[in-house]
Structure 1
Amino acid sequence: MDECEEYKEFYKEILNDQVEASKDCNEKEFIYFFTSRPKVRFDLSRKIKIGKNIGEIFLNLIINCSEKRKVNIDHDYWRDFKKIIINEKFITFKFDEDVKITWPIHVFLYEYNVELGLESEVHYIGKTKDPVSRTMTREHRGYSDMLYYLLHLKEKRDIFLNVLIFKVSVISPPHNSIGIFSTNSVLDHIPKELEIFVIEYCLIYYFKSSIQKGDMDTSWSKFVNYFRDFQKEGINALYFKLEMKESTEYNNLGTPNLAAKKSHYFSWQLNENGLQMERFYESKDLDEEVFKDFFV
C-alpha cells in the first residue's frame, strides 16, 4: 500500500469514528462540502534549509505548478529530528532508524497554520449519515460534476472534503420575563429529517455554487415549503454561524458569488416578501438580531 492509499484508509477510520460518536449524540447527520484551492506541492528542485533557531526549517513550495514560495516553520517538536525527506506530496521527519513521522503536505500546512494567501472554493454541499461510503468514491454525482468543472479551468487545483456537524438550538423570546434557549436535540422541537434538509438547503442557497445551479433552479419551491413547515412549528427564522474549530486559511471558504471568509454569519426568514436571506458581518451583529426581543 502506497502513502496515498495508506492515508486514505486513515481518513476513512477517522470519519467512521465520527459517525459512531454522532450515534451516541442523538444520531446527527453530517453536512459535507467538496472544495478546491490552488494546487500546492513541495518544490523538489530546491533544498530544505535548517534555521539557526531550534526547530526552524525553511520549505520551498510550488503553487499552481508555477509560482514558487518559501515558508519558514518553527516548532519545538522537530528539535531532535535527524533527517527530513520530501516528495511532492509528503514530508517525513526521521528521528532515528526506526522512528519517523510522515505528513501529507496539506495536513502539514493545515496543522501548522501556514498562510499562503489562498482561498477555498465551495463546489458542492450535501448531507449524509455515512460520509465514508457517500463521499469517498468517484461515483458521487457532485464529485464528478466538480471534476468536470475543474478540468476546464486554466488553474490547477487540489480537491478537499470538509465534513461538518451543526449544533441546532431553539430560541424563544421572553414570555412573562422567561426566555428559552435549548438545543433542538433536547427539545426535539424539529424532526431531525426536516432539520438536516433545511440546513442543507440554507447552505446551498447561501453559497450558490455554479455546480449546483441546476439543483437550485428546481428545488427552490421545496426549500420554501420546508420553511412553511417550520412556521407551523412556530419557527420564523433560522440563523447560521458557520465557524470552524481551527482558524486556518483552508477554512477560508467562498464561491465566485460569495467572498471567501473563515467564518460566515447569515439568516433565512420567510415573510410577506417571500424567503429572504440576510448576511451579517460579524458574530455579534447576528447575536444582536437574534436576541433583540430579549432586551425590549
Structure 2
Amino acid sequence: MSNDDDDYPDPSPEELGIGALFEEAPEPFHDLLAPPPDDMEELLPLMPQRTAAPQTWVVTVADAKFHWYDLIAGFPPVPDIRDPVGRHLRRMQFDLEATSEKRLLYFAISRPRVRFDPSRNTSWGFFSLKLTVPLLVGTEEKKDTLTIELTVPFAATLKKPTVVLTDQFITLNWGGLIEALSIHDLLQQYDNPYTFASEVQYVGQTKDPLGRLARARLTPVQRVHQRQSEDNDMLLLIQRMNVEVMSADGDPAELDVNQNPVATDMLLKDRIDVIECALIRYFEGPEMHGRSDKEADIRKQRVAEVALSNNLESFRIDLRLEEAGKYHDLHSRHTSVSRNHVIDCRVVDGNVIVERVPVPEKKS
C-alpha cells in the first residue's frame, strides 16, 4: 500500500464535521450553575437532606496518577493495540475517558522536555540487569545517560530483554512479556539525578459528559498546552480526593436518607466544586491565569452557595502522599516548590481565602 497519504496534514475539526461541536460546547465552569427549576422538579424527592451544625472539612488525596498529555494532543493516530506502545497509549486513553464520569481533580503540569536518544546505543552492565539509556535533556537537547536496574518480570522467558528506543518510548521484550514505558514513566519509576519540579499551570475538574479532556479538546487546557508545548512537556495529574466532614451532626453524606445516587452526587459536587476553587486560588493566584470575569463571578456565587447550604466554616487541603516521588514536587508562579502542600481555607463573601501551612519537608 502506498504511503502517499503521509504527506497530507491531519484533518481539521471543521473538515471532520465536528468543529461546531467544539464551538457549542459549554465552558467547563458552566457546570457550577444550578440547573433550571424544570429540570430539578422530578429530582426534588431525591435531593440531599442537610444538617444544621457548622462543618469543617479535612481534604486528603486518596490516589493520584500522572498521564502524559502531549501523547493525546493534536489528533494523534489511532493506537495500534497489536503494538506494545499502542497498547500503552490505549490504556492511558481508557483511564482518561473513565475520569469524565467521575468528580476528580486534575492539575495541568509542565516539566522540562526529556527524550530518549535513539541515535545512540543502550548498554548493559557486566553480569547484571543494569541498563544505561541515552537521553536528550531540555530544549537544548543536552546529551546525557541514565542507568537503571531492571527486575525480571514473572512472565519473562529471557534473562535480558531486547531493547528498542524511540524518542518517547522504551520497549523491553522479555520473550513472554513486552513492556513499553514512556520517558516520563521511566523517570517516575527509577531513581535519577534530575531535580526538576512540576509547575502547576491549570486546575480543573474531570467530570464532563462530553469527555473533552481525554480527547485533548478542552479549550482552556488546549491554551495552556499551546503556551507550553515548545519548551516543556505537559502532564495531567489526576487526583481522587477524600473529604472528612467534622460536625456535631456528623457527615450528611452518611445519613440513610442521602444514600440515593442524586443526593450522593450533589453532596460530592458541593465538596469538589469548592476544593477546585480553593486550589485554583492557591496555584493560579487571584488573576486565575486569565480566566474570564464571568467564570470568576460564577465561581464566587457557587462557593457562597455551598458555604451557606453546608454551614461550611473552614477546610484544610492536604496534598501530601505517602509514596510521592520527585514528580510530586509541585510549584507554580504563586507558590514555592514542595512535596508537602497543606492549605488552610476559609470562605469570605464567596471568596476562598487560602493560607499555606508550614510543614517539614520529607527527605527524598
Whether TM exceeds 0.5 here: the answer is yes
Matched, 1:14 2:95: yes
Distance in 2 of aligned mates of 1:112 and 1:130: 34
Q: Contact conserved, 2:345 with 2:353, CA < 8 A, in 1?
A: yes
Cα offsets for 1:267-289 (capped at 9, x unmatched):
111359x75321012289xxxxx
Distance in 1 of aligned mates of 2:237 and 2:209: 10
Structure 1 residue 228: Cα displacement? 3.7
Amino acid at match of 1:146: V
Moved more, 207-216 or 56-65: 207-216
Distance in 1 of aligned mates of 2:286 and 2:298: 19
Structure 1 residue 32: Cα displacement? 1.6
Q: Which one scores higher on RCO, CA 8 angstroms, separation ≥ 6? A: 2
Q: Contact conserved, 1:205 with 1:216, CA < 8 A, in 2?
A: no
Structure 1 residue 111: Cα displacement? 2.3
Which residue in 2 is equivalent to 1:293?
Answer: none
Distance in 1 of aligned mates of 2:280 and 2:170: 36
Q: Contact conserved, 1:146 with 1:211, CA < 8 A, in 2?
A: no
Structure 1 residue 157: Cα displacement? 1.1
Distance in 2 of aligned mates of 1:81 and 1:210: 53
Which residue in 1 is equivalent to 2:3?
Answer: none
Which residue in 2 is equivalent to 1:269?
Answer: 346
Change (3 A) 1:210 1:224: closer
Matched, 1:89 2:180: no
Matched, 1:74 2:74: no
Matched, 1:186 2:254: yes
Q: Contact conserved, 1:131 with 1:163, CA < 8 A, in 2?
A: no
- Give the % identical residues: 22
Distance in 1 of aligned mates of 2:334 and 2:147: 34
Over aligned residues, Cα RMSD in angstroms? 3.4
Q: 2:242 aligns with which of 146, 160, 167?
A: 167
Q: Which has the larger share of helix?
A: 1
Amino acid at match of 1:157: N
Matched, 1:29 2:103: yes
Structure 1 residue 147: Cα displacement? 2.8
Amino acid at match of 1:264: H
Counterpart secondary structure, 1:121: strand
Unmatched 5+ residue regions in structure 2? 1-79, 259-263
Cα offsets for 1:192-223 (capped at 9, x unmatched):
32222111111111101799422275555554
Distance in 2 of aligned mates of 1:213 and 1:100: 42
Which residue in 1 is equivalent to 2:313?
Answer: 236
Which residue in 1 is equivalent to 2:183?
Answer: 105
Q: Contact conserved, 1:55 with 1:75, CA < 8 A, in 2?
A: yes
Structure 1 residue 12: Cα displacement? 2.1
Structure 1 residue 165: Cα displacement? 1.0
Cα offsets for 1:67-115 (capped at 9, x unmatched):
222222123327822422212111122223x643222221222222545
Q: Contact conserved, 2:200 with 2:331, CA < 8 A, in 1?
A: yes
Change (3 A) 1:67 1:246: farther
Amino acid at match of 2:110: S
Structure 1 residue 129: Cα displacement? 2.3
> TM-score scaled by structure 1?
0.75
Which residue in 2 is equivalent to 1:148?
Answer: 226
Change (3 A) 1:193 1:75: same
Amino acid at match of 1:34: A
Amino acid at match of 2:188: Y
Moved more, 65-74 or 130-139: 130-139
> TM-score scaled by structure 2?
0.62
Cα offsets for 1:45-72 (capped at 9, x unmatched):
4322212362212222111142222222
Distance in 2 of aligned mates of 1:218 and 1:102: 44
Structure 1 residue 116: Cα displacement? 1.3
Change (3 A) 1:30 1:226: same
Q: Contact conserved, 1:145 with 1:211, CA < 8 A, in 2?
A: no
Structure 1 residue 266: Cα displacement? 0.4
Q: Contact conserved, 1:12 with 1:132, CA < 8 A, in 2?
A: no
Q: 1:198 aligns with which of 274, 278, 283?
A: 274
Change (3 A) 1:211 1:237: closer
State the aligned residue count. 266
